[in-house]
Amino acid sequence: MDSYKLVRLRTVLMVIASGALAAGLALFVYRFPFIQEQAEKRAAPQTAAMSADLPAEAVVLLPWFHNRERHERSMNLYTPSRPPFSDGVVYLRQLERRARTRAALDAFGLAGRPVFRFVPGEAGIGGRLDPYDP
């Protein structure tokens, strides 16, 4: 190839790359409110725990819903803590029945800790913590 064709090819590729970059930036700006809303929903249990001034050894149960659609949404939004559990607040998924939740707390060695249940707010944003007796 001669130098003219190489320069022309390089120019076309640069125009395509800058167009793709501009499209990606525009898409990010367009989707940013949705991304921010998802981040607020995902952080709702931790935000509620921080604002409630929980004891250092507390257990926060993430919600269980009998409605399958709401339960799947909850499973996708809220992330439990991973074992081994540290001395701080532990986030666990609430199980379908109290007896199963109690058995899980015993199995993880969390039986003596104060337990709270996270109750999501309207539209999944925010929420509160209620004392829970497994």
Q: What angle do CA 24, 27, 29 make, to 5 degrees?
A: 110
Q: What is the pLDDT averaged over residues 99-116?
A: 92
What's the start-to-end Cα distance of the chain, in Å? 76
Q: How far apart are CA 101 and CA 84, in angstroms?
A: 18
What's the pLDDT at 56? 85
pLDDT of residue 58: 92
Query: How far is residue 49's CA from residue 54's CA, in Å, rounded to a whole number?
Result: 6
Which residues are bridge partners to 93 per DSSP? 62
pLDDT given for residue 76 in this prediction:
77
- Indicate the helix (H) or strand (E) that contains 67: none
**121 pLDDT higher than 90:** no
- H/E stretch holding 90 reads strand 90-93
User: What are the sequence ranges of the domains in the chain?
Assistant: 1-42, 43-131
pLDDT reading at 75 higher than 80: no
Tell me the pLDDT tens digit for each residue of 37-74. Answer: 888 888 888 888 888 888 889 999 998 877 778 777 77
Q: How far is CA 30 from the centre of its chain?
A: 21
Tell whether the model's pLDDT for residue 124 goes beyond 70.
Answer: no
Looking only at Cα atoms, what is the longest distance across the chain? 79
Rounded CA-CA distance 83/110 in Å is 11
**Residue 1: per-residue pLDDT:** 60
